[in-house]
A and B are shown apart, each in its own frame.
Chain A
């Protein structure tokens, strides 16, 4: 069974800092990996999708990288803002199944 781990579980930074969130997975036979954000009491919002053949994907201040062989993905947030405060989740999709497995998330707090 695929295990997905996100470290750290929580992170508090001052506004303006660049930061990195980590996602690791045990089975490298993934089809793709998706990053989401979740605001309190809300659903999940898709941020970035990286296919297994890609190394990076960028959207605005967000950059996600994928290293399948080592079972890791990172989400880089540049020049963080208080509006970035949320829980960030990664999910991996395996080959052979159209089910995706979630990490437990990193709760980010960006202080003004």
Chain B
């Protein structure tokens, strides 16, 4: 298995609080991604990174920010969590365009 660790694995938080999810990789892959998975919507890209300090938005980036200060870590922050951000969040890594993407085990976030 690819070395990807997501933390925490489960979190319950209150509306309006900030939340940070962490993705850590040991593969030294260049690209890192954050997706959310919801019933009826499938997997949707939130943000991705193509290098240290290089990030770009995906299709559902509103309400989320990211940071990548080291190759191995990609952080996803919900500045002020809302109930619509209740979801399962997946991190993925990829070394280059022609290579496989690998996924973490997911973080189940519940906003109450």
Contact = CB atoms under 8 A, between A and B. Distances in A.
Interface of A: 31-32, 34, 36, 42-46, 49, 51, 89, 91, 93, 98-105
Contact of A43 (B45, B58, B100, B103): B103
Given A42-B106, A43-B105, A93-B97, A102 B48 contact: no
Contacts of B99: 49
Contact of A98 (B94, B102, B104): B94
Contacts, number: 50
A31 B37 CA distance: 24
B90 A43 contact: yes
B105 to A, nearest CB: 4
B101 A100 contact: yes
Given A31-B98, A43-B90, A51-B98, A102 B103 contact: no
Complex A-B, nearest 8 residue pairs according to Cβ-Cβ distance, in ascending order: A44-B103, A104-B42, A102-B43, A43-B105, A43-B103, A49-B100, A46-B100, A43-B106
B31 interface: yes
Nearest to B57: A99
A36 B15 CA distance: 33
A103 B44 CA distance: 10
